[in-house]
Amino acid sequence: AQSVTQPDIHITVSEGASLELRCNYSYGATPYLFWYVQSPGQGLQLLLKYFSGDTLVQGIKGFEAEFKRSQSSFNLRKPSVHWSDAAEYFCAGGTDKLIFGTGTRLQVFP
Amino acid sequence: GAVVSQHPSWVICKSGTSVKIECRSLDFQATTMFWYRQFPKQSLMLMATSNEGSKATYEQGVEKDKFLINHASLTLSTLTVTSAHPEDSSFYICSASQGAQATEAFFGQGTRLTVV
């Protein structure tokens, strides 16, 4: 069955520290992959997406993600986290439909 | 980028009443709109896919008579929660796409429904 897994429910980092949020997918073929961010009570904002080509994808707000076929992963990274990055992050994959992971809540300490 | 607007942002209704949520694409024509439901601290679950001018396609387990979806124009889809009950309280999010793929869709800001 198709699935998207985010192993980390909650991550806490200090402001200025680096960040990596994990995402694994299970599909018959390589799906389109996305990372979204959601602030409390808000909709989803697209950070970045991978369709094909270069496996390192640059997104908005200084985020990037790397597609690794051998590991079925699409981890999100940021070299230096800002307090405003605190939010819920969702990885999603699919083609005609999107399947979302369960989300990772990021908390940033000053 | 493309803008998708949901209205209202939040609504409180009495048990047994019906509530309509609108999803509008403001600067593009949306052939396909998707409706998701998000329970507190959980992920988004696709409820249904609607195409302009045709009946919506509901995901397994979603009651189509409970959640009425209408996509009457290329810029507007509505979700009506009929005879709402407290267990229908949730965050409802729509997305809209010019094409048929959810991968091309833009999300609205969501609607918080509370049924008392």
Q: Which residues of A touch B8 (CB under 8 A)?
A: none
Interface touch B110/A43, C-beta < 8 Å: yes
Chain B residue with the nearest C-alpha to that of A97 = B102
Contact in structure between B32 and B105 (CB atoms under 8 Å): yes
The 10s digit of each residue's pLDDT in A80-102 is: 999 999 999 999 998 778 899 99
Q: Which residues make Cβ contacts (< 8 Å) with residue A74, sequence separation at least 6?
A: A23, A24, A25, A33, A35, A50, A65, A66, A67, A68, A91, A93
Band of pLDDT at residue B1, cut at 50, 70 and 90: low
Of A43, A49, A97, the CB nearest to B93: A43
Q: Which residues of A touch B57 (CB under 8 A)?
A: none
The 10s digit of each residue's pLDDT in B41-60 is: 788 999 999 998 888 999 99
Supply the Cα-derived Rg of chain B in whole angstroms. 13
Parts of chain A with a pLDDT under 70: none
The 10s digit of each residue's pLDDT in B7-44 is: 999 999 999 999 999 999 999 999 999 999 998 878 89
Nearest 10 degrees: Cα torsion B57, A2, A98, A39: 130
How far apart are the CA of A15 and the nearest CA of chain B, in angstroms?
23
Judge whether residue B104 has pLDDT over 90: no
**Which pLDDT value is given to residue A27?**
79
How far apart are the CA of B15 and the nearest CA of chain A, in angstroms?
22
Q: Would you call A64 exposed, middle or buried from its count of C-beta atoms within 10 A (0-12, 13-18, 19+)?
A: middle
What span, in angstroms and rounded, lies between the C-alpha atoms of B109 and A73?
A: 28
The 10s digit of each residue's pLDDT in B59-79 is: 999 999 999 999 989 999 999
